[in-house]
Structures are given as C-alpha cells and as structure tokens.
C-alpha cells in the first residue's frame, strides 16, 4: 500500500511538472513578415457574401484610407499614474504601452508592446480584410496628448475617410488609476468590422521576463472566454483526446460566438483584453502569418467595448467584472486556491515580504493538517512493527492467497491497525498541494519579489540551485526517518525519488520551491517528535 501511494505521488508530480516541459501550452510561431498591401480602394464584402474569417483571409490588397485632408502621421501620448501609452495615427493603433508600476529586468517601466511588431494592438479593419492591412489606414486625431491625474478622465477620437466616402471612427476614454479603457467604433458604409489586440501583447514573452522561466508554467498566447467557456482548449486531457482521435485539433484561426465574453492575448502575468458590451464573436489566431492575435467582430456598423491592458492582478480583474479574473488559471481546485491566495496576501500585509508570507502560509497549512499527518505517520510506524508477522503469514500461506488475506485482516483487527491509515490522510492533502502550486505559479505579486540574500525574484528559478538541493536533501532525510513497510530492494529504488523531484523542481519559480522545502522541514520535525516522544509507539 505504501509503495503504491509513493508511486502515485511521484507520478502526480511528474504529470504536474513534467507535462509542462514535454507539452508546453504555448509555443511561439516564427515571425513571418506579411507582404505589404497595395494602396487601392477599401471595399465592403459583396452583397449576400458572409464575412470571411479575418486572419484566414488571403492578403488581398486593401487600401489606404488617406484620411481627411491627407492627415499627417503623428503620435498621441497618454499619461496616467499607472501607465504611459502612445497611439499612432498610422492605423490608429497602440504603438507603446508602458506599465509604471511593473519594471522590467533593467528597472524601467515594462513595455507591453515591443517595437517592430507586425500587427499592432487596436487594429480595426472591415470584416474580410486582414489585420496587417490596418496600418494602411491613416487617421486624424482630435488631440495631441492627454495627461490625467487624480482619477480624471480623458477622451481621444480618431477618424478617417476613404476616397469612396466610407469612414472609420474610434473613440477611447482613458481613466487615471485604472487599466480599463472604454471604447467604441463607428463604421460609415461598412456592415461590420474586426478589431484586434494584435501580436504585440502576445509576444510579451520576448522580453527578458521569458528568461525567468515563468512562461513555462502559465498559458501564453491568445485566449477567449465565451459564455463561460475558455478557448482554445489546453491541458493533458485535450492533448490525449487529440492523440486518441477523440477530438479534432483546432486550426490556426478559431472563431467562437456567444452572448457575452472577452478575447485577449496574455502571458503568465500580463494581458490585453477586449470586452464587447453585447454579444461576442471572438477571433483567435496562432501560428499564422498574423501570429498571436485576438479580436472581436462587430454584429453591425458600430460596437461599444472595454479594453483591459495591464497586470493580471486578481482584485483588479474581479472588480472590472465580465469574468476577466478567469484569465488567471487556478486549475481544477480553484475553490481551494482562491482562499489560499487571499491568505497569502493577508500574511504579506503582516510581514511585508512575500517570501516570509509563503513561509507563514506553509506553517499554517502544516498546523491545519498536523493531526492528519500525525495519524498517518503513526499508522505507518505501527505497520512497520507488524512486518515480521506479515512475513510469517506470507511464508505460511504462500500457496493460499484467500487464506493469507483472511489472516492478514485478522491481524489488522487484533492490533487495531488500519491498512489505509497511512495513505488516506496524505491523499486528502493532495488537492491543497495542487492548488498552492497554481497560486504560487500564477501570482503576479511574486514577480520580481525579493526574499533573502541571493533570492531576488520569487517568480524566477533559484540562480544557484540552493533551494532545490536543500529540498532534495530534506526529502532524502525524511525518507530515512519515515517508517517503511517495503523490503530493502524496494526501499533502495524509492530512494531515487528525491533525485527525481530535485530534477523536476530545479527550474521552478523559487517561491514554489520555498514552499516545498519549508513543508519538508516541518514534516521532518513532526516525524522526529513521533519517533522519539510519541507514547503510541507500541502495538
């Protein structure tokens, strides 16, 4: 029983951690430069012909709307307490979006839109055109800049008119102290349009942040939430379904329609989402010429929407409504993960350091489960003391399995030992283990959060591998201290588990490894107490 339980734990850890190595949920497609669009007249789809999937459309020439009076290309700066942005009239797109509260590895405000991206965020084109063609549309702006403070609001309107009299208008309302932007677009002469967040935000991983390894443990790329369902589907079961032929792999361009939802591009810690005010038709692209795109298609010639461009802070996303907080993946045990996350933030407010907050949370969790752990450890100790009697029964009834099982059950009853007593208390703790793994792997609060000495970023791996090695050694010592019912050969094989777990954890964020290390040390202390001082060591 103990052997099977330990094997189950190892396999669970291997699936949880190793799967991210073998089948990461996102792999950036190589950037392919789309051919430039020829400056010809932009036209609507032919009557009776439905709009083609935007990102799947061939790069047919679509015009340059010249703009009223040949408006010159210029940049409009937006400055608030949380971010500074640049909107260019070339395409009416977001050219730069820097987060003031979140520095990059050089200590400068994090740039959400790396320069040189092919599809810039906020690209707007009539349905049937490709997002790359948005750059050919030149707008005029009603302002040269906006500086907002003390919760103030400011509005920017971008307009353009083509040679055929058709027009496009975008209106954006910015608010100081918020990452939410209210917006709308109006189409003069076009039946519908598609607005994209672009591939700029989707390549946040191109920043030095990717070198921290955090991208491996969270989804990065386009995502949509439509009527409560998240797309595209990811995870082990989806991958197995495709391999077994039970599910069909989705193409590079996906469309999902429903009553409400949002479309976004994101990585582990940041996201840019567009939320229509009414029904949604989300368009996601991945691995195409227009890589990492997410957008919405309007149901008519106008659309109201909200943008959220910023960090995946749970409280902000929750307050924004529209289920934006579901962009943070707490996994199967979200009902456990969310209270743990609240507790972690509470302890941070107490101690002022995220590393020590993790230590305090670990101690509290161990105290909560101390009775179960104590019962499990004592049960295994009792089982160990019965091993000589089990060996005699196996030898005596080796040719009669039915009689052997009966005699073993009688032995359990006589000595008041539950054969499942060592496993069940530990199995109950596994959901908490998985939930906390999710919390520590996705909490933006740990990004660039220092702990002590050499640990300057709890979202990054330990640069000197001190914590993983200490964790592996603690597992080895804990195995030596824990009573076992296995024979010497089996025990030698299981001694390889600390080596395997050290390998699995060596590149994990140090905040996660800190939790497991402290948890092991506390378990060792409890086992030492039981081995030396427990009055229930006799059977």
In a domain, 186, yes or no: yes
Q: Can you tell me the mean pLDDT for 493-501?
A: 76
Q: Of 279, 300, 329, which marks where a domain is finished?
A: 329
- Helical residues (DSSP H) of 79-168, grouped into ranges: none
192 and 123 housed in the same domain: yes
In a domain, 128, yes or no: yes
18 and 131 housed in the same domain: no
252 and 363 housed in the same domain: no
- Number of domains within the chain: 2
Higher pLDDT, 70 or 341: 341
The pLDDT of residue 467 is 92
Structural domain range at position 435:
2-22+335-533
For 76-85, what is each residue's pLDDT tens digit?
999 999 999 9
Please determine, for residue 339, whether its predicted confidence score (pLDDT) is greater than 90: yes
Q: What is the pTM (predicted TM-score) of this model?
A: 0.78
Structure tokens at 515: 């939790």
The pLDDT of residue 532 is 74
Lookup result for tokens 């399995």? 401
134 and 223 housed in the same domain: yes
Please determine, for residue 534, whether its predicted confidence score (pLDDT) is greater than 90: no
135 and 263 housed in the same domain: yes
Residue 503 — very low, low, confident or very high, per pLDDT cuts 50/70/90?
Answer: confident
In a domain, 362, yes or no: yes
In a domain, 31, yes or no: no
In a domain, 33, yes or no: no
Q: Of 281, 301, 329, which marks where a domain is finished?
A: 329
312 and 365 housed in the same domain: no
In a domain, 159, yes or no: yes
In a domain, 246, yes or no: yes
157 and 254 housed in the same domain: yes
Please determine, for residue 490, whether its predicted confidence score (pLDDT) is greater than 90: no
Q: Can you tell me the mean pLDDT for 122-137?
A: 82
340 and 321 housed in the same domain: no
For 463-479, what is each residue's pLDDT tens digit?
999 999 999 898 888 77
DSSP string for 292-346: SEEEEE-SSSEEEEEEEEEE--HHHHHHH-TTGGGGS---TTHHHHHHHHHHHHH
314 and 343 housed in the same domain: no
- Residues 408, 409, 410, 414: what is their CA dihedral angle, to the nearest 10 degrees? 100
In a domain, 46, yes or no: no
The pLDDT of residue 134 is 79
**pLDDT over 70 for what percent of the chain?**
71
Q: Can you tell me the mean pLDDT for 36-61?
A: 36
403 and 289 housed in the same domain: no
What is the Cα–Cα distance from 532 to 278, expressed in whole angstroms?
Answer: 66
The pLDDT of residue 378 is 72
Instruction: Please classify residue 179 by burial: count the beta carbons closer than 10 Å to its beta carbon, then call 0-12 exposed, 13-18 middle and 19+ buried.
Output: buried
If phi > 0 it is left, if psi is from -120 to 50 it is alpha, else beta; for residue 331 that is left
For 228-279, what is each residue's pLDDT tens digit?
999 887 666 655 665 666 666 666 678 899 999 999 988 888 999 999 999 9
| 463 secondary structure, DSSP code | T
CATH classification of the domain holding 134? 2.70.98.90
Q: Of 299, 329, 359, which marks where a domain is finished?
A: 329
The pLDDT of residue 441 is 83
300 and 417 housed in the same domain: no
127 and 13 housed in the same domain: no
Average pLDDT, the chain: 77
The pLDDT of residue 302 is 94
């Amino acid at each position: 029983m103990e052997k099977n339980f330990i094997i189950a734990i190892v396999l669970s850890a291997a699936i949880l951690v190793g799967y991210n190595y073998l089948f990461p949920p996102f792999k950036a497609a190589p950037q392919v430069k789309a051919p430039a669009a020829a400056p010809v007249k932009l036209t609507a789809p032919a009557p009776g012909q439905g709009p083609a999937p935007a990102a799947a459309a061939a790069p047919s020439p679509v015009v340059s709307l010249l703009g009223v009076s040949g408006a010159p290309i210029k940049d409009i700066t937006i400055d608030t307490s949380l971010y500074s942005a640049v909107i260019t009239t070339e395409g009416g797109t977001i050219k730069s979006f820097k987060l003031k509260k979140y520095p990059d590895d050089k200590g400068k405000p994090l740039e959400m839109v790396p320069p040189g991206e092919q599809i810039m965020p906020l690209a707007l084109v009539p349905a049937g055109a490709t997002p790359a063609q948005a750059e050919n549309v030149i707008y005029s702006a009603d302002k040269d800049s906006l500086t907002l403070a003390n919760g103030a609001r400011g509005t920017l309107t971008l307009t353009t008119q083509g040679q055929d009299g058709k027009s496009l208008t975008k209106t954006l309302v910015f608010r100081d102290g918020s990452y939410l932007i209210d917006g709308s677009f109006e189409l003069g002469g076009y039946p519908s349009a598609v607005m994209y967040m672009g591939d700029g935000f989707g390549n946040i991983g191109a920043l030095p942040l990717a070198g921290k390894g955090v991208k491996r443990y969270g989804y990065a790329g386009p995502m949509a939430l439509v009527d409560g369902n998240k797309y595209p589907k990811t995870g082990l079961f989806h991958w197995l379904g495709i391999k077994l032929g039970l599910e069909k792999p989705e193409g590079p361009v996906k469309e999902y329609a429903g009553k409400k939802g949002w479309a976004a591009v994101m990585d582990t810690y940041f996201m840019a989402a567009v939320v229509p005010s009414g029904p949604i038709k989300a368009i996601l692209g991945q691995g195409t010429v227009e890589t990492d795109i997410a957008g919405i298609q309007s149901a008519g010639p106008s659309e109201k929407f909200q943008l959220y461009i910023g960090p995946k802070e749970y409280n902000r996303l929750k307050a924004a409504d529209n289920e934006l907080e579901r962009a943070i993946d707490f996994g199967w045990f979200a009902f456990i993960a969310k209270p743990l996350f609240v507790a972690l933030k509470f302890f941070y407010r107490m101690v002022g350091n995220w590393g020590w907050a993790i230590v305090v949370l670990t101690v509290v969790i161990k105290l909560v489960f101390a009775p179960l752990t104590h019962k499990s450890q004592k049960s295994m100790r009792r089982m160990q003391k019965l091993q000589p009697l089990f060996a005699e029964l196996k030898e005596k009834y080796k040719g009669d399995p039915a009689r052997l099982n009966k005699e073993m059950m009688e032995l359990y009853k006589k000595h008041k030992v539950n054969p499942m007593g060592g496993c069940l208390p530990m199995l109950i703790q596994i959901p908490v283990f998985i939930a906390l793994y999710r919390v520590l792997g996705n909490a933006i609060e740990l990004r660039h959060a220092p702990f002590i000495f050499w640990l300057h970023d709890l979202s990054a791996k330990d640069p000197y591998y001190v914590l993983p090695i200490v964790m592996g050694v603690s597992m080895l010592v804990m195995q030596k201290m824990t009573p076992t019912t296995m024979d010497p050969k089996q025990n030698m094989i299981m001694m390889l588990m600390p080596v395997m777990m050290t390998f699995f954890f060596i590149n994990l964020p140090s905040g996660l490894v800190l939790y497991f290390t402290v948890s092991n040390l506390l378990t060792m202390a409890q086992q030492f107490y039981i081995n030396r001082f427990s009055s229930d060591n006799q059977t």
